[in-house]
Structure 1
């Protein structure tokens, strides 16, 4: 054993002598390619000496404090740890020196880090050599151990600054202190949307301390200058230039940014950068300067909500109470992690009942945001809300209320935002908001108030900002999509199609075959137009002087026969297993598949047997499916319909291979119909096979896809 200890010690001594020599004459040092490979091992092996030195120091501190420093077994183990620490320190510092010659780092910080590595290596070897006399004196042993821990911490901090950016170690605390709540109207696009993305995803490698590719992004001037490969963007080219080109490269390619292994940009972050560059990369433009219909404006409104957590002086509601109040059309969730404040949102107006507001009195102290938009609420229903003493935000857009209820809200001493768009509130009633103590913003789109009345209101109520939307001949606005007001998705007889748009003069055009509506060939919507059978409605709004709206989609299914029982020959995935009746209960799921209203298959195909109480004549089967490309939910590669009078002797009636998407697209629901010659059946077997491998263009290429189905409709 002693012989091996001598060999390791002499090797460490040689490495330290070589290290000091090369460090002193590094300006004459030229690194061959094969040594560059060794240099790149530095980040991989640097943890060994850090752990070993720290472990030895802690052992010595323990032995001295516990007064067991004469225990020979402990000493032998400790000696080996220190010897390997000395050896690994020398090797790590040496390959780090090789790595430093690649360039792209801040010279001053790098020099401190390199000499720090040399000091640690020499110190550790000397510590091993003089370990025995040092341990005789408790004071010297303690000081040496503490010195070693300090050296490792300081040099490691310098290395982290070089690799991850300035003040990497303390940056979470500094960011916490820097985070200041800001209103959307005061936010700047670059400073508050773009810059935070650059700081977390780009500047760690492109800063004055570590300029990879000679690119520094610390200041606006340096960003505009670009790096070795040129400027970062060019709005005259289709892909908007170098930055976005590198971002969109596959992650496994060398030039993809951020590099593989670093935190990647989210879809929203890429969208923010793209839209900012597309608009000219203006460093001074404010969110308030953007159209309310602009995507950047909408993202900012969501991100820059004033954080009032520090003002809350009420206790958290019981988790069991919150869980009980979450229903099929009401979501109650925390405003933020560890916050006692609750947000409440209602959806699906068909399920709304006034008593559901009364139920919220159990958490009336904790509710700070209440969204009742498009709910059939009346003035008398809202008197309950006046008791929600900590309410900050109230959304009553497109409800049936009148201004008669507004005085009751004066008791809401913290109310800051009130949304009244699409209601019957008039100018005289809005004047009642004058004495609301903290009200700052009122949304008043499409209410019976003239422009002259609104201007007068703004003069009288100077402390309130009335958001009426953009007006002006020079501004080209984008129309909001039309609304589909049909509540039922399943029909047994012809029903009128109900489409509506809240902008006067807007024309709605639609198609029933899933094609894109256009302003020339598509059908103009008029009251009384009927739909029958399985149709995939796509509608779009048009108006002269406006940008046409996005497309709204809705599926309608004709359901003739009711299935008596459903048997899963292959069960759905446990994560989305629901109940068997879900396939035939004629209740449509939502595009948010996490609500639990879908059945799904991935590792196995969907194989389900439908049974009728008596023979039934059938001529088509439709699968109501979900398409969500980004969530790996794709159409099945093949659908087969089998039928007959005996479940063991079924014959193939129809099959189809649905078209697969060729690019990412928004989530939507699709009806896949298999038609066949009319047949009298008592049993029907439905088979849907998931896509085995996602295509090469998909971010999850090679992975299995999901098949999601919520209904099987029989006609």
Structure 2
């Protein structure tokens, strides 16, 4: 049998401190109310009731102190604020016992003048409770938690001017005026960290000895080492934790906190893939197909976005977006979330969505009925890196408005593509790292509106690509050719032209 260590038990019980600390606070407030009622009303609260409440306050305050000490052993807190909070908490517990003593009949019968200490001690304990709670809040949420959100209604109420807010000249209402000139970390990545991560990883609270509010400390990492590796998404620890199920203890942000959205996850992955630079602009990085529409949505003025970013906006898709469909049922959204998927809105002006299962690599054919849960509303579908096979394509074929389909790194074969012939609005198809061959691409001819296809790491040959291009001249085919393959293809074209001339 394996027994838990003392440290493990202390850590376990320490987690109950935020819960336990509310008991003495509640009783102390109740006692103050009792004393006010006794002073201003005829119906008196019995002294015995107040004495019992004081005893419960003293016991619970002492217990909260002990649990708080256990919690502090985990580390990751600002030592100065932690020391103040501990001293104030212990002081409040001692004063609570003093209040009980100076209110008990037995003690007053021995020392009658002790009753004169009761009200001053009660007033002081109430003030100390507020200060102690404030420092506890600072440890948990950070020192600027109450003041960081502006405008501040309290300042208006007491007729004080609002704090001056520095506005980045490149941004207006969270829109980046010139997306190409925006700094990737400062303007795009850092706001995500600030909103979703810094609450637990700041100067006041350093969970896991990690701070994310300063670049040098972010690069240093925490007690488990560095949290990201440039150009390596798979080995970047903070991304691994984001992708864990929310029920897992190591999932970040913790359950109950505001979670990383699918778009934010794409941004963070892109930043890592492009070298995790802290000083480069958007225009200096390669803009992948996934990041392009996100960058567009962040731009305040689409006319300032580079052609490279804009080129992925398709004609059919824009036409569909101009129409509208009914809202996705909330029950359907919950079903998708339950299995680790996400339904994300594509525009605030309509109800079209992106359906993605990127966070659930175990998604398989058994789960495929969920693919067509909202057939009219689903405009983008991402099944990358899942376990689906050709069987799931019957569900995909039901998405009549689908314009973008990601099937990269799945187990689909040539047989799957023949099932997709009904997707007449499909404009983008990613088949990277699948077993698709030249025979399979023949079925794509039925997709009249297909504009772009990715065939990297497939069995499709250069000859197969050429045959596909002849039948679909407007189709852009990305096959990841090396320089040698490109030269071979050029020679092949020259030879073909020579043969044609010879035959004539």
- How far, CA to CA, are the matches of 1:233 and 1:300 in structure 2? 22
Q: 102, 107, 130: which one pairs with 1:153?
A: 130
Q: 212, 221, 226: which one pairs with 1:217?
A: 212
- How far, CA to CA, are the matches of 2:220 and 2:323 in structure 1? 48
Matches within 5 A, 1:313-462: 443=303
- How far, CA to CA, are the matches of 1:232 and 1:247 in structure 2? 12
- How far, CA to CA, are the matches of 2:187 and 2:85 in structure 1? 33
> Could you list the per-position Cα deviations for residues 165-196 of structure 1 after superposition, in whole angstroms to 9, with x for gaps in the alignment?
23333333489954736242375332232222
Deviation at 1:241? 1.5
Higher strand share: 1
Deviation at 1:248? 0.8
Deviation at 1:122? 0.6
- Please name the residue that 2:73 is paired with: 101
Q: 182, 188, 195: which one pairs with 2:190?
A: 195
- Please name the residue that 2:372 is paired with: 635
- Please name the residue that 1:284 is paired with: 279
1:38 has 2:13 as partner: yes
Name the larger-Rg structure. 1
User: Equivalent residue of 2:327, what SS?
Assistant: helix
User: Equivalent residue of 2:401, what SS?
Assistant: strand
Q: 83, 91, 103: which one pairs with 1:111?
A: 83
TM-score where L is the length of structure 1: 0.39
Deviation at 1:304? 6.6
- How far, CA to CA, are the matches of 1:290 and 1:602 in structure 2? 36
Deviation at 1:94? 1.3
- Please name the residue that 1:180 is paired with: 167
- How far, CA to CA, are the matches of 2:122 and 2:41 in structure 1? 16
Q: 315, 333, 337: which one pairs with 1:483?
A: 315
Deviation at 1:223? 0.7
> How many residues of Structure 1 are paired with residues of Structure 2 in the alignment?
331
User: Equivalent residue of 1:207, what SS?
Assistant: coil
For the 8 Å contact 1:60–1:141, the answer to whether it is kept is no
For the 8 Å contact 1:629–1:665, the answer to whether it is kept is no
Deviation at 1:118? 0.4
Change (3 A) 1:103 1:78: same
User: Equivalent residue of 2:248, what SS?
Assistant: coil
- Please name the residue that 2:142 is paired with: 165
- How far, CA to CA, are the matches of 2:132 and 2:189 in structure 1? 32
- Please name the residue that 2:256 is paired with: 261
For the 8 Å contact 1:160–1:169, the answer to whether it is kept is no
User: Equivalent residue of 1:73, what SS?
Assistant: coil
Deviation at 1:668? 5.7
Note the residue ranges of structure 1 that are not aligned, 5 or more in a row.
Answer: 1-29, 306-416, 420-442, 444-466, 471-475, 485-551, 556-587, 604-625, 638-657, 671-715
Deviation at 1:147? 2.4
TM-score where L is the length of structure 2: 0.54
> Could you list the per-position Cα deviations for residues 4-57 of structure 1 after superposition, in whole angstroms to 9, with x for gaps in the alignment?
xxxxxxxxxxxxxxxxxxxxxxxxxx9544333322221221111111112212
- Please name the residue that 2:229 is paired with: 234
- Please name the residue that 2:33 is paired with: 58
Note the residue ranges of structure 2 that are not aligned, 5 or more in a row.
Answer: 153-161, 336-351, 358-368, 375-389, 403-504
> Could you list the per-position Cα deviations for residues 490-516 of structure 1 after superposition, in whole angstroms to 9, with x for gaps in the alignment?
xxxxxxxxxxxxxxxxxxxxxxxxxxx
- Please name the residue that 1:130 is paired with: 102
- Please name the residue that 1:504 is paired with: none
Higher helix share: 2
> Could you list the per-position Cα deviations for residues 675-709 of structure 1 after superposition, in whole angstroms to 9, with x for gaps in the alignment?
xxxxxxxxxxxxxxxxxxxxxxxxxxxxxxxxxxx
Could you say which structure has the greater relative contact order, defined with CA pairs below 8 angstroms and 6 or more residues apart? Answer: 2
- Please name the residue that 2:496 is paired with: none
Change (3 A) 1:660 1:153: farther
- How far, CA to CA, are the matches of 1:166 and 1:234 in structure 2? 30
